[in-house]
Structure formats: C-alpha cells, structure tokens
Amino acid sequence: MEVVKEVAKQGSAASDGVAIRADQKSYTYKQLFSSAWRISNLLLGSDLNAIQEAGKHVAHSAPINGARGQGNLGGARIGIVAKPSAEFVAGMLGTWLSGGVAVPLAISYPEAELLHVMTDSDISMILSTEDHQELMQNIAVKTAAQFSLIPHVPSSYSEESGVDHLQSGEIDADRILHNTETANENPALIIYTSGTTGKPKGVVHTHKSICAQVEFMPKFSVRGIWQRWRESYPANETKADDSITVFTGVPTIYSRLIQGYEAMDPELKATSAFAAKQLRLMMCGSSALPLPVMQQWETITGHRLLERYGMTEFVMAISNPLNGERKAGTVGKPFPGVEVRILAEDKSGSDGTGMGELCIKSPSLFKEYWRRPEVTKESFTDDGFFKTGDAVGVDEDGYYIILGRTSADIMKVGGYKLSALEIESVLLEHPTVEECCVLGLPDKDYGEAVSAIIVPEAEAKKRREEESRPAISLEELCSWAQVKLAPYKLPTRLFLWDSLPRNAMGKVNKKELKKKLAAEQDV
C-alpha cells in the first residue's frame, strides 16, 4: 500500500491542492481521496466471500489497520476500465485501499484479448465508467465477474465538490494507511504486455516497484493533440494556465502527427508548428524511432525527440540526456541506479560483434509474471538480471542501440546476424515508402531471407496505378538502397500492402506475421 501512502503524503500538506487536471477540470487531493474511499467501501460491500476466494491465488496482503477497516480483499484482482481521468486514478487508489490488485483493461483490445486478460488474471470485479458500461457488462457475464460503475469524481468547481469522508479538510497519511515493511513487496498492479511475441503476459508490479518509478501514458486522437497544443500556446504568444509542457509518444504516434500536419492548410500549419515549438520536452519510446521520422519532426517543431528505453517489466531504464547530446538511432545510457549487462548467445557475455541480449537490474523491476513461475524463472539470470529479449549494441560513446527483438527482429541470413530495425530505418527514407516491416522468412539456401512489407505512400501508389504498375518493385527498391545497405542486407522478397497490422500499442506482431507469411509462401 506504499503507493497510496505516497499519494496521501503528497496531499496531506495541502488537501485542497490540485492533484489532477483532466478534460479542462481540476480535482483536489481531498476530492480524489474521498472518491477513493467510496470505491473502497463499494468493493468491500460486494460479495466479499467470492472476491476473497479469488484472492487466495496470491499471497494475502499484510493486514491494514485504518479507518473503516480498509484492506480486506486479500489480493483479489480488480479490473479497471476508464480513459485517463480522475475516475481512473480514484479506481486505482480505491482498489489499493481495499487490499486489492489493480488490473487496467485496455478497451482497445478485441473481445478475445479482453477475455484472455480477464480469465488469466482471474478478475473478481470490473470497475468501469459509464462510457464502457455495455461492453464491460457483457465481458463480466462471460467471465462470471461482478460489475460496478466507478462513482463520478466531482471537480473543484462542481456543485458536488463537498466531501463526506474527509470532513476536516485534512488528509492524514498515517490514518489512511498504517503499513508494514513487508507490504512493499505485495502485488499492487498487473499490467499485460503488448503481446508482440505471443499471448499477453501479466506483469506483476509491487507497491515498491511502482513507487520507484511511475509513468502516465494518456491516449489522444492526432487531431486532438494538435488542437490541445494550439489551445496551450495561441499565436499571440500568450500561454494558457493549463498548458501542455511535456509530451511522450510511440513512433507510430509521431508518424501520424506528421501526416496530420501535412494535411493542414498553410495557416493552420504555421499556428500548429508555433505551438509545438513552445513545449519544454518531447520524448519517444516503446519501439525504435525511424531516423526519417525524427528528422522530419525536428524540422516541423524544432524538437529533437528524446529517445529512451523501457518495458512494462521495469518502466524505464535507459535514456538519452535531457541536457546533452541526443544521438539519433540510440536510446542513450542507463539511469542512475540501473545496472545493464549484454548477454551473448552462449550466455557468457557480449559476443565478438558487441551484440547481445540486453539484461536489466533496476529498483523498479517487476516481481513476477502472473501465474507463470517457469516463465518468470527463465526470464532472469542467476544473479537477478532481467532478460529483456531485445538485442542491443553499444556505440563508441556508450550509447545503447536497440537492434530489435531477439525472437523477431534479428535475422540470420547466410551466416550474418542482421537487424530488421536497421534495414527498416533505411527503407523508410525512400519517398514511396509510407510504412515498412522487415522480417526474416525461411529460406532453404540462406536460412532466412530478408523480406520487406511496404505500405506505399498514397499519391505515389495512385500515380503508378494509373500506369498499371505496382507502387514500387523489388528491383527499384534494391537499386535505391544499395548505396545505403550492404548487399547481404538488401531485401530479396517484397510485399506491397495497404496497411500493417498493429496492436493497441501500435506495434506489429512480427512473430505471428512471420508464421502467416511463411505458411502462405509454403516455404
């Protein structure tokens, strides 16, 4: 329950201070905790026996001595469905106040994946906002889980802003939660991986690992992002009181933002670029940032994106510097307190090429994979380093370069180990290429063949269709790329698609794609 205690400490000095700003509304710590207490009482007032029975699958939380007898769920999993909002945060805090484990559910998942997460984590109750009520009630019925709406959190200017649980106007952190040291290691949160190399796995984070590092990742529409920036920084050089100062996104988001920008009229482009330039910092993570995207974004906004490296299992571990050289194509250097090791294929250390699997030891490292003890054991070295599954190299300045997933992005072609991400970065520079995906397909002579899936740029595709020709041929692509890539890195197979299949995080599941294409090609 250390997470709740830390939030309570933050608000205890000024309970009327703003804790959250969302949807142009402000919410105080007092309002947030009042709502969290209501949610906690709602959970504890449900069919407690059923919830506690579900909670027996994990070690029970240490008893919590506090007002109203909070903390009796014994580690039961509570699914939370809400957009980034005060209700989402109140749902998380209310779950932890009750001794439960929060499991955020991504409503962008198809029903099959939602059902997988529900059954895999054995969720006892779903807390949802009204906008997702119908869908989640149906999911609850199919999994025998209980369902409840998350109570509305009144904003600072709402007529409902009075609170019923904190009449004194104070937030007493010790009263809210008196905890033992061992509770730090209890499960607090199960986040499911994006599932790019198989079915999503439940990553168990403890209260301790969450306190070590927390990241909020809101999701918006491309049009809405540009509009929000323009509202923050009008062209008259004023600054809104609730202006956005920091933005983080995955490479796909920046690609979509560029596409949205290019579709604007000249006047809107000018005001949008001006607004974006005013932000203090823009960051990128989740997957490798193609160099053309980085360069184009810097041309439009003046921001050289700060690339960094993290995973669900430890949040963030490596980053380019805030002040200092941000090297394109790298994710920077480890944070203070983070230990890094490169493991070669023979597990002895970095191989002769300087390539190997990245291993991390960090204060924010997760506890385990939910109900997968063998997978958890296999994911760690004997001395406690987590094996990320990402292949890396290190440049002459000690900056780490992500070469891709060892299971999907590292291709073995005729004795060479090739990075699919390196080849993709080059192909994306071609003016006809809007998106691309490179993977190794089975080949009887070379082991694997470098294969490229290309999504052509719309206008180029249209022009070539008028000439009854494909948007680009393999010969044209290789002729252009041969001055940038070694001969053995050039694609030998080409597929032209209208779009790339992506998951909720904007990632392409190459493992599944590779199986599908290999079956279709009968190789």
Which residues are CB-neighbours of 318 under 8 A, at least 6 positions away? 308, 309, 310, 331, 332, 333, 334, 335, 338, 340, 400
pTM (two decimals): 0.69
Mean pLDDT by groups of 10 residues along the chain of 523 residues: 68 72 85 91 72 41 33 88 93 92 88 91 95 93 94 73 47 49 76 76 90 49 89 86 90 91 96 96 88 93 96 94 94 96 72 76 95 95 95 94 87 89 92 94 91 95 93 96 93 95 80 86 61
**Res 8: pLDDT:** 72
Note every long-range contact of 266-275, with CB atoms under 8 Å and residues 24 or more positions apart, other chains counting.
270/235, 271/230, 271/235, 272/226, 272/229, 272/230, 273/300, 273/301, 274/233, 274/235, 275/226, 275/229, 275/230, 275/232, 275/233, 275/234, 275/235
**Res 55: pLDDT:** 41
**What CATH code would you report for 222-362+381-405?**
3.40.50.12780
Q: Domains of the chain: which residue ranges?
A: 2-192, 222-362+381-405, 410-521
Q: Classify residue 109 by its DSSP letter.
A: S
Domain 410-521 class?
A: alpha beta
**Res 460: pLDDT:** 92
Fold entry, domain 2-192: Rossmann fold (3.40.50)
222-362+381-405 matches 410-521 in fold:
no
